[in-house]
């Protein structure tokens, strides 16, 4: 039994990479290491300002969804009482 050489979290019996890390290796072989690292940096590594903006955006989305759900429930309740 050995741990994955990349993530060091999964136990590997027949290879040195776990299935998830093997998939990452496949992406590197398809797109190049530099391209994969660049995409990861652009997607996962955000400045604090961008993190704050993302958090605000997600909160606004959640509030809008809850407001929409409440309106739908009120409509359904109103229609149920008028029928």
Predicted structure pTM score: 0.51
- How many other C-beta atoms can be found within 10 angstroms of the C-beta atom of residue 3? 13
pLDDT tens across 45-72, in order? 878 888 888 889 999 999 999 999 999 9
16 pLDDT above the threshold of 70: yes
Q: What was the pLDDT predicted at 79?
A: 75
Q: What was the pLDDT predicted at 1?
A: 65
Domain coordinates of the chain in residue numbers? 1-45, 47-83
Q: What was the pLDDT predicted at 62?
A: 94
The token pair at 28 is 């590197």
In the chain, the percentage of residues whose pLDDT exceeds 90 is 46
83 pLDDT above the threshold of 70: no
Q: Which helix (H) or strand (E) holds 76?
A: helix 48-82
């Amino acid at each position: 039994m050995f741990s994955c050489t990349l993530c060091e979290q999964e136990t590997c019996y027949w290879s040195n990479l776990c299935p998830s890390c093997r998939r990452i290796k496949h992406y590197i072989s398809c797109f190049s290491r530099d391209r994969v690292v660049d995409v990861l940096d652009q997607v996962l590594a955000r400045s604090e300002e961008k993190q704050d903006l993302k958090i605000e955006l997600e909160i606004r989305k959640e509030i809008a969804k809850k407001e929409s759900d409440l309106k739908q429930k009120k409509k359904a309740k109103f229609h149920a009482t008028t029928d």
